[in-house]
Amino acid sequence: MDPDSAAVSVTTSAAPAPRGHYSQARIAGDLVFTAGLGPLDPETREIVGPGDAAEQTRQVFRNLSAILAEAGCGLADVVKVTAFLQNADRDWDGYDSVFPEFFTPPYPARLTAGADLGEILVEIEVIAHRPAPTRS
């Protein structure tokens, strides 16, 4: 990855490969923008935790963590979370309960909305701020 270029694509086999024409993430300056990810196992591409919003949220954050690591940062660097829930009334508590497993205060800013997600309950994208490289 060339951090000085205008925008760099991020790809890792530790997260599900895109099903269409998009990048897992893009780095622009010191920001990382991920694609929206669902709760897919990176190897089998099967949905993890069918019917369980908490387990699906955990899998999405594991996938996002792998992409962010490839980009040179981590979940601690996330400044914004955008999430979509299949059924906000039913899935909110499971989804929200998982955040303290992956984030500590101050929590990232967050938008959560309902959406038709087909067979999955949760889809999440994040924006992260990459730490400045250390100079030796």
pTM, two decimal places: 0.92
Q: What are phi and psi of 70, to 5 degrees?
A: -65, -30
Rounded-to-integer distance, Cα 53 and Cα 44, Å: 19
Tokens, residue 115: 């959406």
CATH number of 8-129: 3.30.1330.40
* Confidence at residue 5, expressed as pLDDT on a 0 to 100 scale: 55
Which are the contacts of 101, defined by CB distance < 8 A and separation ≥ 6?
Answer: 58, 61
The pLDDT tens digits for 12-71 are: 999 999 989 999 999 999 999 999 999 999 999 999 999 999 999 999 999 999 999 999
Tokens, residue 90: 């039913």
Amino acid in the structure at residue 108 = P
For the chain, give the longest Cα–Cα distance. Answer: 51
* Confidence at residue 1, expressed as pLDDT on a 0 to 100 scale: 46
